[in-house]
Structure 1
Amino acid sequence: MHTQASLTADLQALGLRPGDLVMVHASLKAIGPVDGGARAVVDALRAAVGPEGTLMGYASWDRSPYEETLNGARLGDEERRAWPPFDPAASGTYRGFGLLNQFLLDTPGARRSAHPDASMVAVGRLAAALTEPHRLGEALGKGSPLERFVESGGKVLLLGAPLDTVTVLHYAEAIADIPGKRRVTYEMPMLGPDGEVVWQRAEDFDSNGILDRFAIEGEPDAVETIANAYVALGRHREGLVGSARCHLIEARDIVAFGVAYLEALD
């Protein structure tokens, strides 16, 4: 069984340093059994980056009505009235992006951004600066926590997670100068100034397929395609953390690569 101390040592051997800003994508199953469970994994990450470091995760929202309101789809009136509004302090995280994010959110001092579907959680010195503001219509592109993460010199850690989880590449999609970008609309229930529920409409880039060629069911999207091409260059670090094969990637470098990749497409 792995321990917090052994995981911290593994993370340091992989390349995490005190003061680092790290966006974590984790598979707890891949890490293997840990004494203390997911909380010990979070504590190991925090120990590796130290008190001056910051951890960030993609929390999203377990009740996000993104699919139910996508591109003009509409919930029935009764469903809309019953749907809970997004509350950064209390709403759950989307389990599809990993259980570890809920443990990050439950960590004392954690901050969560205000965009329901693209909500980010951060713990550490830069937590407030990363998560505020986060407006509808600025999910993963300019003005988002991802932009501030990249500009702050962040690192992406795939802790046993697959290459199609490199969320920061959605930022590359947003800023790449390419024609034909797909856009979507959706609605989110937000808390109004007097505590009432207000459904707000948003328009943003299509994170499920920035171009038609990357929106074919069963085929790799742009994130997976670019991440695989990047890793083939060997500009990242790899190693074991617990039982998990891990990747440590400089966010600025993979974003620059992603932008160039997209802009070079025919």
Structure 2
Amino acid sequence: MENRTTMAVGLRSLGVQGGDVLMVHASLKKIGPVIGGARAIVGALRDAVAPDGTLIGYASWDRSPYGETLNGAQLDAETRRNWPPFRPDTANVYCGFGLLNQFLADTPGALRSAHPDASMVALGPLAHELIEPHRLGQAFGPGSPLERFVTRNGKVLLLGAPLDAVTVLHYAEAIADIPGKRRVTYEMPILGPNGETAWERAEDFDSNGILDCFAIDGAMDAVETIARAYVALGRHREGQVANAHCYLLDAQDIVSFGVSYLEQRFARRISTPAKGP
């Protein structure tokens, strides 16, 4: 059975190095049994980037009212009044993006960004720099933790997670110069200065489908489409850690590829007037 030490050795063999800024997407089920459980896995990740590396993960929030307020949808008055405000230090992580990040968020010293629905959790010397600021309307694009993660030469680790989990590609979607990008509105309950709940409205890119063609039920979204095309080039590291099939991706490279992928296929085409006789 795997343990913290053997997991760290496996991560180093995959290409994780000391000092890395590493964004982790993990499937505990795919990893399989590890002595010490999820806490040991977090420990192995910390060991792999030691002594001065930083871990980051996509946390979101298990009480995010994104769907309930999407594009003008309304909560009834009582539900709205009783909805808890987002508190970065105590809010539970949304388990739909993997259970490991809850353990990362619970690790002493971990910091959580202030955007309720798109909150990131980070642990390490660059944690504060990565997570702040994180304002509504800047979930994944310019000004977000993802932008700073890319700037810091981050790496993306899929530890048994699928290729549709490469969250940093939402940054590529946001900065790609293409027409017709889908936008959404939603509301979030923010903790006010006196402990009250203040509902704030936000507008942002639609991370569930940046273009209409990527928002079709049952079809691949842009993240998975781009990630699959990128992996086919072989510019990444790939291997097994514990029982999990893993990918290690350079964040700047896959974002640059993602922007080019979208712009080459969907950029506005300028028509050329027909020449006369």
TM-score, normalising length from structure 2? 0.96
Partner of 1:77: 77
Q: Tell me what 2:3 maps to.
A: 3
- Matched with 1:185 is 185
Q: CA deviation at 1:48?
A: 0.5
1:244 maps to 244
Would the aligned equivalents of 1:51 and 1:124 in 2 still touch at CA under 8 Å? no
Equivalent in the alignment of 2:103: 103
Note the C-alpha offset of 1:145. 0.1
- CA distances 1:174-203 after superposition (whole Å, capped 9, x unpaired): 000000000000000001111110000000
Partner of 2:219 in structure 1? 219
Where does structure 1 lack aligned partners over 5 or more consecutive residues?
Answer: none
Q: Distance in 2 between matches of 1:224 and 1:193?
A: 40
SS at 2:200 equivalent: strand
Q: What residue in structure 1 maps to residue 270 of structure 2?
A: none
User: What SS does the aligned partner of 1:104 have?
Assistant: helix
Q: Cα deviations across residues 222-243 of structure 1 (Å, max 9, x unaligned)?
A: 0000000000000000011101
Q: Distance in 2 between matches of 1:235 and 1:256?
A: 12
Q: Shift of the alpha carbon at 1:51?
A: 2.7
Note the alpha carbon deviations across 1:121-179, whole angstroms, 9 max, x for none: 00001000000000000000000000000000000000000000000000000000000
Instruction: Report the secondary structure of 2:138's partner residue.
Output: coil
What is the distance in 2 between the residues matched to 1:32 and 1:61?
Answer: 25
- Which residue in 1 is equivalent to 2:145? 145
**For 1:47, what is the secondary structure of its paired residue?**
helix
* 1:105-254 map, 5 Å: 105-254=105-254
3-state SS of 2:265 partner: coil
Q: Does 1:37 align with 2:37?
A: yes
Identity of paired residues, percent? 72
Q: Would you identify which runs of 4 or more consecutive aligned residues in structure 1 move more than 3 Å?
A: none
CA distance in 1, matches of 2:164, 2:48: 25
Instruction: Supply the distance in 1 between the matched residues of 2:89 and 2:46 (Cα, whole angstroms).
Output: 21
Task: Identify the residue that residue 264 of structure 2 maps to in structure 1.
Answer: 264
1:34-89 CA distance string (max 9 Å, x none): 00000000000000000300000000000000000000001000000111100001
Aligned residue for 1:265, secondary structure, equals: helix
In structure 1, C-alpha distance between the alignment counterparts of 2:194 and 2:83, rounded to whole Å: 18
2:66 partner letter: Y
Indicate the SS of the match to 1:264. helix
Contact 1:51 1:125 in 2 (8 A): no
User: C-alpha distance in 2, partners of 1:216/1:96?
Assistant: 20
Q: What is the match of residue 272 of structure 2?
A: none
Letter in 1 for 2:203: E
Following the alignment from structure 1 to structure 2, what is the Cα–Cα distance between the partners of residues 139 and 235? 27
Higher CA-based Rg = 2
Alignment RMSD (CA, Å): 0.5
Residue type of the alignment partner of 1:194? N
